Structure 1
């Protein structure tokens, strides 16, 4: 098995992640390696990695193309294992994390597996936090047991998931027009892969005992952070929506049901505020921001299609698009490539 971490400028958190990784209990019968992909780090990441070379079965790899999807695909290329178990550079794994994941995949004959993700708060949970917002913090808990998942909406997050090499052989890697680039981007590369996998009939499991704790810095406990993130995610959502296709009736390029759905969210936002239910009110607000961003992207895309011109700031096609100043984190370029880099037969070696 290969454990893989993609990292960008989180040297101190990565150090804690690797220290905890060294305390895992792995049976001698299980052969494993730890691949860390340095995605253009400019801090002291390399010094941290060198400190852990003797304590872990560490392979240090570099990926010069910025972007989490490129880094993930690089890890797939260098791995020779049958299963790649992914986590992040700001995660503390349980001592039985690897063995519980492997046991669930074998026991349920699954090719994809998600584990539970619990909070590692830097300070404390914000006063408006509630269970309905757990997914916004990439937290995921469906109990302690292990079972199969029947649809993509039940799946977890990139901080704790495993994928068999056979899946990458059949479906290709992570879409490079999705995913985080540095501190920008809306993510979604892991979700999109799981959508493809489940659509292709891949058995997908959940293993509650394969647990991790995910670092949540104080800055992510501010509402403004989530508002910005939801606005930035419109282009990624639109790409996934257009790929999914379907014969539904559309209005301005979006399925008609979405307008009904978000009318209900408007009502939910109103009544949640009346009831002073801060968590549900904020959840509804974020869904409305997300829809507004998605609608904006769809309108730009339709304009380009009708005129045959590419707008200078088309969120659907311009990878350097930045959100409005009121929601943006500041200037910067998003560099991405709108294609999936598939694996060749020579890349897809089994270990």
Structure 2
């Protein structure tokens, strides 16, 4: 069995190095040890990740493939990764270059896939703050904490920050990641909505944990609210496009307005609870506005400026 671990990277050499070191420590107890190829796609035309990969390859347990995708954009980088997957690969796993997996990460994904005969297995991404002195409101509000489910819980959506997919599914799609999302992000939301619409089985693996390194630049009110707006606008945009009907659009409008009303309703009592409650009320409003914006195709260009993919 061959598993292809795909990593899209952009100017995060230290994060990529940390990730590759941890991938080198993977252990297997529930599954047979698979063949593993790790595919690093450098979306930086200068090849800033080349040296990191070259230095670690000598002592790397697995096969390591490195290539450059010169066309800027997350969709192009991830499609290049898929194009680099070996033709006999059984599974494709995605993980980001600002994350590190637990040693049993891939073992858990594979064992859950086998137990539930799933087409897609998603798992949690736990925040790891680079600066421990984060704002009090951020800690109390748990704004970075993921939703968690029991292992085997059915899902309707997943994300490329921690997921395992049957490779044969991806071979049937061209392109896998829609290039319209190259600068906006949300290409994974679009992909997994399409896969769910096609009837593929999604399940949750609660113990296949990866940890995301959160920089100080994200531990602020602006970033939290922008992320809320962005995520809900992308979801709304994709849903309206993939399920084009008056009832779906109507439901999205109602959801957007309900979120805004909920946020406004919570504003006053939140003043007596604390700053984190006030920000949660604001986040509902931003999510509601994002939902409405997505209906008419307004999307925030998350990768227009120079950020890591």
Q: Flag whether TM exceeds 0.5 (same fold).
A: yes
Instruction: Note the aligned Cα RMSD (angstroms).
Output: 3.1
* 5+ long unaligned stretches in structure 1: 302-314, 323-327, 335-351
Q: CA deviation at 1:208?
A: 1.7
TM-score (structure 2 length as normaliser):
0.83
Equivalent residue pairs, number: 296
Q: CA deviation at 1:82?
A: 1.7
Q: Is the 8 A contact 1:231 1:293 kept in 2?
A: yes
Q: CA deviation at 1:281?
A: 2.7
**1:101-148 Cα shifts (integer Å, max 9, x gaps):** 1111111100101122212110124311257644xx3x43526x5213
TM-score (structure 1 length as normaliser):
0.74
Secondary structure of residue in 1 paired with 2:51? helix
Corresponding residue of 1:147: 152
Q: Residue 268 and residue 103 in structure 1: after superposition, are their counterparts in 2 closer, same or farther (change >3 A)?
A: same
CA distance in 2, matches of 1:205, 1:238: 22
- Residue 227 of structure 1, aligned match among 215, 225, 228: 225
Corresponding residue of 2:40: 36
Corresponding residue of 1:246: 245
Q: Residue 150 and residue 281 in structure 1: after superposition, are their counterparts in 2 closer, same or farther (change >3 A)?
A: same
CA distance in 2, matches of 1:270, 1:158: 37
Corresponding residue of 1:175: 178
Corresponding residue of 1:307: none
Q: Is the 8 A contact 1:132 1:280 kept in 2?
A: yes
* 5+ long unaligned stretches in structure 2: none
CA distance in 1, matches of 2:252, 2:208: 38
Q: CA deviation at 1:198?
A: 2.1
Q: Residue 66 and residue 263 in structure 1: after superposition, are their counterparts in 2 closer, same or farther (change >3 A)?
A: same
- Residue 213 of structure 1, aligned match among 211, 214, 221: 211
| Structure 2 residue 187 is the aligned partner of structure 1 residue 189 | yes
Q: Is the 8 A contact 1:9 1:41 kept in 2?
A: no
Corresponding residue of 2:253: 255
CA distance in 2, matches of 1:37, 1:117: 21
**1:290-323 Cα shifts (integer Å, max 9, x gaps):** 4335545656x6xxxxxxxxxxxxx46xxxx87x
- Residue 288 of structure 2, aligned match among 272, 287, 291: 291
